[in-house]
């Protein structure tokens, strides 16, 4: 059943083309905390080493943490798996974009949020022509 899903859905794991490309050219570089696996191999149209990710679950670009994002986009040649990076105490852990989910931000007064819109405080004057 899983192989049928991979044949007919591009957003669920890897496609047949990605599976073939990974088998043929892919060299595993590392894995992040979410279980996404990163590969490199072959050359792209600009002559750089091609890099790709096989997501653990749905293909969601915001699931890639910042360090791996920089590596994927050739901002650095050193993958996060090869460096000894320790986050600072003030850095928050990476979170996936929650838009469209139950965890999405809904400000007070929006249609999706229970409650009333905050009252206007009077500290704002709208622009009007010829004023």
- Greatest distance between any 2 Cα atoms in the chain: 69
How far is it, in rounded angstroms, from Cα 40 to Cα 60? 19
Angle at 95 between CA 92 and CA 96, to 5 degrees: 160
Position 13 pLDDT exceeds 70: no
- Domain annotation covers residue 40: yes
Residue 77 counted as domain residue? no
Whether 119 is covered by a domain: the verdict is: no
| Alpha-carbon span 52 to 24, nearest angstrom | 14
State pTM to two decimals: 0.69
Q: What range does the domain containing 33 cover?
A: 2-72
Give per-residue pLDDT as tens, 54-85: 888 888 888 898 889 999 999 988 888 888 87
In a domain, 59, yes or no: yes
pLDDT exceeds 60 at position 10: no
Count the domains in the chain.
Answer: 1
Structure tokens at 26: 């892919």
Closest CA to 40 of 83, 72, 78: 72
Any domain includes 20: yes
């Amino acid at each position: 059943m899983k192989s049928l899903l991979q044949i007919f859905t591009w957003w669920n794991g890897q496609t047949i083309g990605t599976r073939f490309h990974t088998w043929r050219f892919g060299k595993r570089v590392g894995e992040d905390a979410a279980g996404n696996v990163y590969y490199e191999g072959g050359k792209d149209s600009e002559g750089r080493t091609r890099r790709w990710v096989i997501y653990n679950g749905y293909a969601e670009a915001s699931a890639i943490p910042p360090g791996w994002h920089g590596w994927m986009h050739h901002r650095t040649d050193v993958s996060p798996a090869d460096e000894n990076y320790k986050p600072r105490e003030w850095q928050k852990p990476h979170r996936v974009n929650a838009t469209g989910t139950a965890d999405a931000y809904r400000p007070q007064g929006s249609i999706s949020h229970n409650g009333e819109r905050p009252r206007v405080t009077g500290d704002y004057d709208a622009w009007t022509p010829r004023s």
